[in-house]
Chain A
Amino acid sequence: MARITLDHLAHAYKADPRTPDDYALKEINHVWSQGGAYALLGPSGCGKTTLLNIISGLVRPTRGRVLFDDLDVTDLPTEARNIAQVFQFPVVYDTMSVRENLAFPLKNRRVPRDRTAQRVEEIARLLDLTRVLDRKASNLTADMKQKISLGRGLVRPDVAAILFDEPLTVIDPHLKWQLRSTLKEIHRALDITMIYVTHDQTEALTFADKVVVMHDGAVVQTGTPDELFERPAHTFVGHFIGSPGMNILPCRVEGATAVIGDQTIDLQRIYRVPSGGERIELGIRPEFVRLQQKGSGLPVQVRRIDDIGRARIARVEMSGRPLAASVPEGLSIEGSEAALALDPRHIHIYADGHLVSGEPIGGHRA
Chain B
Amino acid sequence: MTKTVNNRAWLFVLPVFAIVAFSAVLPLMTVVNYSVQDTFGNNQFFWNGIGWFQELLDPSTELGGRFFDALWRTLLFSAIILMIEVPLGIAVALSMPREGWPVALCLVLMALPLLIPWNVVGTIWQVFARSDIGLLGWIVNHLGIDYNYTNDSLDAWVTLVVMDVWHWTSLVALLCYAGLKSIPDAYYQAARIDGASRWAIFRTIQLPKMRRVLLIAVLLRFMDSFMIYTEPFVITGGGPGNATTFLSIDLVKLALGQFDLGKAAAMSLVYNLIILAICWLFYTVMTNVDAERERVEA
Interface of A toward B, CB cutoff 8 Å? 53, 56, 58, 77-79, 83-85, 87-89, 91, 93-96, 104-105, 108-109, 136, 138-139, 149, 152-153
Q: B43 on the interface (CB 8 Å rule)?
A: no
Name the CB-closest residue of A to B204. Answer: A93
Q: B296 on the interface (CB 8 Å rule)?
A: yes
Chain A proximity of B223: nearest CB distance (Å): 27
Q: Which of B193, B204, B205, B296 contacts A83 (CB 8 A)?
A: B193
Question: Complex formed: what's the CA distance from A136 to B189 in Å?
Answer: 22
A87 and B205 contacting across the interface, CB-CB below 8 Å: no
Name the CB-closest residue of A to B200. Answer: A108
Interface of B toward A, CB cutoff 8 Å? 184, 186-187, 189-190, 192-197, 200, 204-205, 208-209, 295-296
Question: Complex formed: what's the CA distance from A93 to B201 in Å?
Answer: 10
Most chain A Cβ neighbours within 10 Å, of B190, B196, B295, B296: B190
Q: Which residues of A contact B209 (CB under 8 A)?
A: 94
Asked, given contacts A88-B186, A139-B296, whether A79 binds B204 with beta carbons under 8 Å apart, the answer is no
Question: Complex formed: what's the CA distance from A53 to B186 in Å?
Answer: 11
Chain B proximity of A161: nearest CB distance (Å): 12
A91 and B196 contacting across the interface, CB-CB below 8 Å: no
Q: What are 15 A-to-B residue pairs whose CB atoms are below 8 Å?
A: A58-B189, A58-B192, A79-B193, A85-B190, A87-B186, A87-B189, A91-B187, A93-B204, A95-B204, A95-B208, A96-B204, A109-B195, A139-B296, A149-B190, A152-B194
Asked, given contacts A89-B186, A91-B186, whether A78 binds B204 with beta carbons under 8 Å apart, the answer is no
Question: Complex formed: what's the CA distance from A88 to B192 in Å?
Answer: 16
A94 and B194 contacting across the interface, CB-CB below 8 Å: no
Question: Complex formed: what's the CA distance from A241 to B127 in Å?
Answer: 75
A104 and B204 contacting across the interface, CB-CB below 8 Å: yes
Asked, given contacts A91-B187, A108-B197, A139-B296, whether A78 binds B208 with beta carbons under 8 Å apart, the answer is no
Question: Complex formed: what's the CA distance from A77 to B194 in Å?
Answer: 12
B296 and A84 contacting across the interface, CB-CB below 8 Å: no
Interface residues of chain A: helix, strand, loop or mixed (majority): mixed
Question: Complex formed: what's the CA distance from A138 to B196 in Å?
Answer: 19
Question: Complex formed: what's the CA distance from A139 to B204 in Å?
Answer: 16
Question: Complex formed: what's the CA distance from A89 to B185 in Å?
Answer: 10
Q: Which residues of A contact B189 (CB under 8 A)?
A: 53, 56, 58, 78, 85, 87
Q: Which of B192, B205, B208, B295 contacts A79 (CB 8 A)?
A: B192
A94 and B195 contacting across the interface, CB-CB below 8 Å: no
Chain A proximity of B34: nearest CB distance (Å): 50
B295 and A78 contacting across the interface, CB-CB below 8 Å: no
Question: Complex formed: what's the CA distance from A261 to B196 in Å?
Answer: 64
Chain B proximity of A133: nearest CB distance (Å): 17
